[in-house]
Amino acid sequence: MNNHQPEISSALFTATVFTRKKQRMQRIVGIVFGIMAVAILIPLFVLVTYLIIRAWPSLTWDFLTDVPKNGMRGGGIWPALVGTIYTVTFSLLIAVPIGVMAGIYLNEYAKDSWFTRIVNMAVVNLAGVPSIVHALFGVGAFVLFAGMGKSIISASFTLAIMTLPVIIVSTTEALASVPRPFRTACWNVGASKWQTIRTIVLPNSISGILTGVILQVCRAAGETAPIMFTGAVFFKYVQRGDFFPYHLNEQCMALSYHLHTISTQVPGVPEPMLYATAVVLLGFVLIFNSFAIVLRVYMRNRKKW
């Protein structure tokens, strides 16, 4: 009887036809999804490689730190680089606190009513509004009505309005992903709602909130229409290497608008210079994103669940 025991055990654990079919389908699905991932990465790698190769003759330190010369046909992009840092930084300083607080209210405090549903629908719809519409709104609201004129602060407010919807939505979704028992446990030990949000909910949702911020950094840095109508200028003289060449009530140069200008309105610009400007803009976005991604990973590793 004992001689037949191994045969019975091996028969019990032998994969059936149905199990082998599921395993084969699982491998096929994994291969298909892997091919899709590679198909996404290959065009990105080819595009970045092509840009770097075409821009290589102009990618020097002097190109980054010098000012435009010879009618923008030579020199560097320092004023545009600093102007982009100004507009993106100030727009995030405006949009992130407002967007996060709005998301906290909608998810944690607002009751489910017709008004809340209208607000949520409006936020989602605003995320799909074209940038040119935001630009015209910025002209009317900040340049003309608020009397700020065409300036860095007007451009920053316009970019902030444009990026708010995604930050609000990402904040709301990140807060909603925190398990409800976390809140209940805090309330049971006597913590107030704000103490629960500040010490438990926000720390465990910060990685999702940063995802929305990362997406909006890319959009804010690459948009041309909002800043072209509200704060960007064709050319503004600054000293080479000056880190603080602009005041908030002044117009500034920006990389996206500068690239548009030298590509369409300035004849005779060397081709490597055009590609180098595009590469610097791409690198600027990647640096901002890398910092945010590192912070997001650090915060995610500190999650308690």
| Separation CA 171–CA 165 (nearest Å) | 10
Give 217-256 as a DSSP string.
Answer: HHHHHH--HHHHHHTB-S-----TT-S----TTS-B--HH
Residue range 157-170, pLDDT digits in tens? 999 999 899 899 88
Identity of the residue numbered 154: S
Q: Which residues of 106-139 are buried (b: 16+ CB within 10 A; e: fewer)?
A: bbbeeeeeeeeeebeeebeebeeeebeebbbbbb
pLDDT at 5: 52
Give 209-222 as a DSSP string.
Answer: HHHHHHHHHHHHHH
pLDDT at 91: 92
Average pLDDT of the chain to the nearest whole number? 86
Q: Which of 142, 140, 168 is nearest to 155 (CA)?
A: 142
pLDDT at 3 over 80: no
The residue that leads in pLDDT, 210 or 11, is 210
Q: Which CATH superfamily is domain 59-301 in?
A: MetI-like (1.10.3720.10)
Q: What band does 97 get if pLDDT is binned at 50, 70 and 90? A: very high
Share of the chain above pLDDT 70, in %: 93
Instruction: Give the number of other Cβ atoms within 10 Å of residue 173's Cβ.
Output: 16
- What is the C-alpha radius of gyration for the chain, rounded to an integer number of angstroms? 26
pLDDT (average), residues 204-223: 82
pLDDT at 205: 85
pLDDT at 87: 92
Q: What band does 12 get if pLDDT is binned at 50, 70 and 90? A: low
Residue with tokens 């064709």: 234
pLDDT at 304 over 80: no
Residue range 249-290, pLDDT digits in tens? 999 999 999 998 898 888 888 999 999 999 999 888 888 778
Identity of the residue numbered 224: T
User: 86 CB contacts (<8 Å, ≥6 apart)?
Assistant: 152, 156, 246, 252
Structure tokens at 168: 């609000």
Residues 201, 205, 210, 212, CA torsion sign: negative
- Out of 4-8, 75-79, 83-87, 237-241, which region has the weakest mean confidence (pLDDT)? 4-8
pLDDT (average), residues 60-69: 89
pLDDT at 129: 86
pLDDT at 150 over 80: yes
How do the domains of the chain map onto residue ranges? 59-301
| Separation CA 212–CA 209 (nearest Å) | 6
